[in-house]
């Protein structure tokens, strides 16, 4: 059962990816990754999705500087594609260098609008520098998921 | 103010008792003190409470908040250091102790905050603020731990997370600072209040003290005026009184407080002094009025009071007897200057006199050298003093001597008289016997022709002064009745002489009634003169012959009774004169004639019958005699005589018989 599901998942992901098109992921690619997380969340459930998202070896959710992040509506991170140290941490009060409460604001977008874009600063996993980032977030059951691009 | 009366009263306030005034003054001062004390107590209590709050509540609490804040900041700095070190690739070996330190400090801070929430001195506001803080701290702690946790593996992310850690730490720190500042503000406010309280307290103390001072002064003046001034007036009055001035008038009876009562008491005292002076004056006058010398010595034997008689008796030379002198000194001076009793031994006399004075017994007599006799009567008084009277009995003494002499004379005379009397008694007895011997015998009376005669004679004394006789010579019958003045020997002798002279004249044949009485008078007068006596007598002579009675001589009325009981009186006033009183009486002699029928008769009597008195001193009287005679006239002369005598004796009863009683009844046969 699990094998079948994995297989299906892999085939789906292969269909949707234009692999190695550019150095940084695009906004569309970010939205597409959110959709893939949504698909898996529906198909495999929360636990499996969280595990896959947090596992850097899963290429489907780790593409160059693109990675998904999932939070619940309390602001607690439940899965992170780039920084596993954050899993289980409440980041509702997290601020970027400009003082934006990014988690709280994106949570609000997901909660009220269901989906949307949000700009903030975040360390780039590729060079660990704080860069401008735009993330796309969507509501996903009791959680919300986002994937961002560095500009 | 009632100053016009010039007295003790100043206002109605003065009527209040001094005690009340003093109490009022004390009460006012007490109120001031109490107000002051109460204010000080309240202020200091408040200050103490404030200081206690400051020192034991606010300061430690603020310190605790401040300490927690400090610790939190220190931990925050360490977290920052940790992330900084982690970002710079410091080795795990160095980071690990810092991480452990941070965790320990977080736990310590949690414990401290928990301790803060458990404090009992928290206000409601603080408690709710602390609850908020606890929540904030918990999230802060969680974020700190998250940051450390992340920092261990992901330094850039930890750097990213420093922002939120800063916020939460700052929030916690801000809260703590806010609470601490609130406490500081509270403490400052309290301090300000305490200092302003102290300032105000100072002012209150100053003002209340001044007020108390003012009240004291006012009360002192008011009460002083209402007490001191009248007391000064009273003191003045008392000084004048003690100086002997008693005409001190006081406006008393107006005040009703203690001073009024004091004034009343002084007035009573003043009146008592006046009374006492009056009594002393009266006493002095009374003592002075005593005709004897008077002295009173006190228990110490000092002279208290004496009168001028006493002073005169004991004042010799320059030493005047004055109150306060001792008895011994007064008597000693008397011994020195006047010899008393003439015994010669002055010292012995003085000792005896002092002993007598100290233990008075009966009165004693002093014979002074100036001839005076003084009787001294001393007596102890109830309080141990001696009161004495000195009576000048010189006159008494001389009278006593006179009396003694007179008594001796009388005694001698008495002796003489007693022997004389014995002799005279013998003589009188003889005279009486002679007198009785010479009265007519019963036989003689029965031999009288034509007349039935009964006689009675009773003398008041041994020898009476009455005379009666019935003589018969040669056919002539002569009846005589008389009354010599007085009784006793002389009267008896005069009666005997009269009888002898009458018989002699009758025997000589003298028939003329004038000559008969004249000779009788002359003979008797001569004898009475020789006797040196003043005796005389009334005498009535009746000559009876052949039914005719001739009456001559002055005596009582002759009662004539007829046979039928009719009574006639023959007055003899004009028939003669008292015999033996004058030498010649012939001119006075007269004669009355009475014719008697058989059964008629005459009754002769002396005034001893008619003037006899009964118990009520009523006289028997001629009327009663006549009535008795008339009632019994039918009987014999003897029976008639006995009836009269019996009636007379009944009449006299127990009364004394003062005069001789003689009755002669002659009835014609």
Q: A122 CB near a chain B CB, below 8 Å?
A: yes
List B540's β-bridge partners, or say none.
B481
- 3-state DSSP assignment of residue A7: helix
| Mean per-residue pLDDT over chain B, rounded | 84
Phi-psi sector, A72: left (phi>0), alpha (psi -120 to 50), beta: beta
Q: What is the number of alpha carbons within 13 Å of residue B231 lying toward its C-beta?
A: 9
Rounded average pLDDT over B75-103: 89
Within the 115-144 window of chain B, which residues sit less than 8 Å (CB to CB) from chain A?
139, 142-143
CB spacing of A90 vs B139 below 8 angstroms: yes
Q: How far apart are CA B469 and CA B448, in angstroms?
A: 12
Compare CB distances from A86 to B150, B164, B167 and report the shortest one's residue.
Answer: B150
- Is B154 part of the contact surface with chain A (CB cutoff 8 Å)? yes
Query: In which residue are the tokens 């301090």 written?
Result: B191
Q: Is any Cβ of chain B less than 8 angstroms from the Cβ of A94?
A: yes
Q: In what order do the strands lie in the sheet with B537-545?
A: B466-473, B476-484, B537-545, B548-552, B591-595
Interface contact flag, A93 B164, Cβ < 8 Å = yes
pLDDT tens-digit readout, B26-46: 887 788 788 888 878 888 888
For domain B292-392, which CATH number applies: 3.30.450.20, 3.40.50.720, 3.20.19.10, 3.40.50.300?
Answer: 3.30.450.20
Give the CA-trace dihedral at B168, B171, B176, B181, to 10 degrees: 160
Taking residues B630-643, report their average pLDDT. Answer: 92
pLDDT at B475: 80
Q: How many CB atoms lie within 10 A of CB B582?
A: 13
From chain A, pick out residues whose CB is under 8 angstroms from the CB of B143: 90, 93
Residue A146 has φ and ψ, to the nearest 5°, of -145, 155
Phi and psi angles of residue B587, each rounded to the nearest 5 degrees, phi first:
-65, -20
Q: What is the pLDDT of residues B567-600, one digit of tens each?
A: 999 999 889 999 998 888 988 999 999 999 999 9
Q: Which parts of chain A sit beneath pLDDT 50?
A: 1-4, 6-8, 10-20
Residues from chain A contacting residue B154 (CB–CB below 8 Å): 83, 85-86
- Over 80: is that where the pLDDT of B354 sits? yes
Helix (H), strand (E) at residue B415 = helix B394-438
Domain ranges of chain B: 4-287, 292-392, 439-668
The model's pLDDT over A65-102, given as tens digits with 9 standing for 90+, comes to 999 999 999 999 999 999 998 999 988 888 888 889 99
- Those of residues 19-78 in A touching chain B at CB distance below 8 A are none
Mutation to test the B interface, candidates A56, A83, A84, A85, most B Cβ within 10 Å: A85
CATH number for domain B439-668, candidates 3.60.40.10, 3.90.1150.10, 3.30.450.40, 3.30.450.20: 3.60.40.10
Q: Is the CB of residue A86 less than 8 Å away from at least one CB of chain B? A: yes
Are B72 and B176 in contact by the 8 Å Cβ rule? The answer is yes
Q: Model pTM?
A: 0.43
Q: Higher-confidence residue: A23 or B403?
A: B403
CA distance readout (Å), B311 to B300, B617, B644: 20, 61, 79
Rounded CA separation B453/B664 (Å): 7
Measured between alpha carbons, how far is B467 from B554 in angstroms, rounded to an integer? 14
Q: In what order do the strands lie in the sheet with A143-150?
A: A77-80, A68-72, A143-150, A130-140, A115-123
* Residue B226, both tokens: 């209402």
Q: Which long-range contacts (CB under 8 A, 24 or more apart) does B34-38 make?
A: B35/B208, B36/B205, B36/B208, B36/B209, B36/B212
CA count, 13 A, side-chain hemisphere, A13: 20
Q: How far is B118 from chain A (nearest CA, A)?
A: 29
If you measure CA to CA, which chain A residue comes closest to B136?
A93
Please indicate whether residue B554 or residue B346 has the higher confidence score (pLDDT). Answer: B554
Rounded distance between C-alpha atoms, residue A144 and residue B580, angstroms: 209
One fold for B292-392 and B439-668: no
DSSP state of A63: B
* DSSP 8-state secondary structure symbol assigned to residue B557: P
Q: Is A106 on the interface with B (CB under 8 A)?
A: no
Hey, is the C-beta of A104 within 8 angstroms of any chain B C-beta? Answer: no
Is residue B524 within 8 Å of B541, Cβ to Cβ? no
Q: Give the gap in angstroms from C-alpha B68 to the nearest C-alpha of chain A.
A: 23
Q: What percent of chain B has pLDDT over 70?
A: 94
Sign for the pseudo-dihedral over CA of B490, B496, B500, B506: positive
Query: Could you tell me the CA-to-CA distances from A72 to A46, A109, A111, B118, B186 in Å, in that order?
Result: 11, 13, 10, 35, 45
From B436, B445, B555, B456, select the one nearest B496 (Cα to Cα). Answer: B436
Residues in A closer than 8 angstroms to B152, CB to CB, are 85
Span B283-288, average pLDDT: 85
Q: Residue A92: closest CA among chain B residues belongs to which residue?
A: B164
> ipTM, 2 decimals?
0.80
């Amino acid at each position: 059962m699990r094998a079948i599901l994995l297989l299906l998942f892999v085939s789906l992901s292969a269909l949707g990816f234009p692999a190695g098109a550019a150095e940084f992921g695009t906004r569309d690619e970010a939205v597409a990754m959110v959709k893939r997380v949504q698909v898996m969340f529906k198909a495999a459930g929360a636990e499996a999705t969280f595990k896959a998202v947090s596992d850097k070896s899963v290429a489907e959710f780790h593409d160059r500087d693109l990675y998904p992040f999932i939070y619940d509506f309390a602001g607690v991170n439940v899965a992170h594609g780039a920084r596993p140290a954050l899993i289980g941490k409440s980041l509702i009060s997290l601020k970027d260098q400009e003082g934006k409460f990014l988690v709280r604001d994106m949570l609000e977008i997901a909660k009220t609008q269901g989906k949307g874009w949000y700009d903030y600063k975040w360390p780039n996993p590729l060079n660990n520098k704080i860069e401008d980032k735009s993330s796309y977030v969507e509501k996903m059951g009791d959680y919300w998921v986002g994937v961002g691009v560095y500009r | 103010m009632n100053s016009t009366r010039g007295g003790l009263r100043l206002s109605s306030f003065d009527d209040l008792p001094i005690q009340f005034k003093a109490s009022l003054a004390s009460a006012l001062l007490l109120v001031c003190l109490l107000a002051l004390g109460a204010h000080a107590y309240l202020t200091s209590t408040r200050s103490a409470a404030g200081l206690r709050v400051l020192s034991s509540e606010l300061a430690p609490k603020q310190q605790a908040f401040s300490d927690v804040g400090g610790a939190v900041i220190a931990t925050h700095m360490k977290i920052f250091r940790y992330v900084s070190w982690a970002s710079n690739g410091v080795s795990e070996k160095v980071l690990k102790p810092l991480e452990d330190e941070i965790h320990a400090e977080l736990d310590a801070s949690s414990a401290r905050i928990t301790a803060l929430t458990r404090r009992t001195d928290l206000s409601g506001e603080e408690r709710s603020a602390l609850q908020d803080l606890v929540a904030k701290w918990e999230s802060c702690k969680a974020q700190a731990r998250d940051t450390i946790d992340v920092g261990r593996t992901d330094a850039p992310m930890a750097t990213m997370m420093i922002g939120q850690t800063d916020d939460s730490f700052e929030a916690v720190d801000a809260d703590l600072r806010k609470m601490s500042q609130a406490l500081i503000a509270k403490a400052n406010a309290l301090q300000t209040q305490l200092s302003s309280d102290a300032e105000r307290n100072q002012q209150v103390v100053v003002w209340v003290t001044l007020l108390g001072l003012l009240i004291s002064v006012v009360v002192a003046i008011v009460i002083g005026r209402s007490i001191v001034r009248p007391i000064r007036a009273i003191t003045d009055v008392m000084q004048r009184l003690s100086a002997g001035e008693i005409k001190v008038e006081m406006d008393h009876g107006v005040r009703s407080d203690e001073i009024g009562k004091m004034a009343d008491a002084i007035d009573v005292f003043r009146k008592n002094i006046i009374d006492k002076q009056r009594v002393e004056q009266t006493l002095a006058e009374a003592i002075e009025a005593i005709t004897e010398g008077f002295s009173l010595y006190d228990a110490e034997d000092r002279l208290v009071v004496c009168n001028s008689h006493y002073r005169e008796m004991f004042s010799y030379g320059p030493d005047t007897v004055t109150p306060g002198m001792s008895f011994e000194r007064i008597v000693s001076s008397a011994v020195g200057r006047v010899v008393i009793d003439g015994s010669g031994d002055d010292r012995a006399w003085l000792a005896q006199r002092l002993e007598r004075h100290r233990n008075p017994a009966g009165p004693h007599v002093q014979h002074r050298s100036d001839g005076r006799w003084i009787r001294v009567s001393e007596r102890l008084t109830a309080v141990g003093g001696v009161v004495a009277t000195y009576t000048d009995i010189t006159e008494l003494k001389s009278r006593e001597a006179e009396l003694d002499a007179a008594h001796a004379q009388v005694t001698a005379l008495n002796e003489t008289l007693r022997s004389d009397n014995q002799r005279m008694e013998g003589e009188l007895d003889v005279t009486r016997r002679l007198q009785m011997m010479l009265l007519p015998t019963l036989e003689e009376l029965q031999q009288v022709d034509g007349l039935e005669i009964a006689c009675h004679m009773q003398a008041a004394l041994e020898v009476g002064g009455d005379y009666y006789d019935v003589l018969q010579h040669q056919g002539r019958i002569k009846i005589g009745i008389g009354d010599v003045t007085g009784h006793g020997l002389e009267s008896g002798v005069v009666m005997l002489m009269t009888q002898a002279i009458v018989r002699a004249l009758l025997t000589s044949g003298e028939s003329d009634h004038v000559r008969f009485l004249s000779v009788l008078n002359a003979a008797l007068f001569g004898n009475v003169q020789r006797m040196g006596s003043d005796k005389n007598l009334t005498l009535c002579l009746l000559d009876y012959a052949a039914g005719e009675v001739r009456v001559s001589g002055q005596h009582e009325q002759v009662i004539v009774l007829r046979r039928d009981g009719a009574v006639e009186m023959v007055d003899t006033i004009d028939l003669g004169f008292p015999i033996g009183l004058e030498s010649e009486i012939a001119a006075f002699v007269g004669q009355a004639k009475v014719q008697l029928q058989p059964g008629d008769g005459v009754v002769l009597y002396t005034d001893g019958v008619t003037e006899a008195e009964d118990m009520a001193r009523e006289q028997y009287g001629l009327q009663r005699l006549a009535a008795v005679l008339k009632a019994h006239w039918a009987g014999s002369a003897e029976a008639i005589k006995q009836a009269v005598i019996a009636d007379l004796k009944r009449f006299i009863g127990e009364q004394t018989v003062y005069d001789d009683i003689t009755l002669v009844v002659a009835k014609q046969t």
